[in-house]
Amino acid sequence: MPPKFWGCKAHWFALPKTLRDRIWATYRPGQEITKDPSPEYIAAARDVREWILKKEAGAIEKGA
């Protein structure tokens, strides 16, 4: 996936829609080029990363 997207396709679509929506709501076009994402985007990305790590560790049931 292009750099403007969070993660790979498999991880992106593994996320609950609410987390994907947070990423899109806080994304600013070009932030991957200028390297200056908003604090809100950074917080959303951190929450997404934590969710993925928990899922991969088996702490989140499928479909949760």
Quote the pLDDT of residue 6.
84
pTM equals: 0.80
pLDDT digits (tens, 9 = 90+) for 17-63: 999 999 999 999 999 999 999 999 999 999 999 999 999 898 776 65
Please check the confidence at residue 3 and state whether its pLDDT lies above 70.
Answer: no
3-state secondary structure the chain: CCCCCCCCHHHHHHCCHHHHHHHHHHCCCCHHHHCCCCHHHHHHHHHHHHHHHHHHCCCCCCCC
The two tokens of residue 54 are: 């928990």
> What is the pLDDT at residue 63?
54
Q: Check residue 61 and give its pLDDT.
A: 65
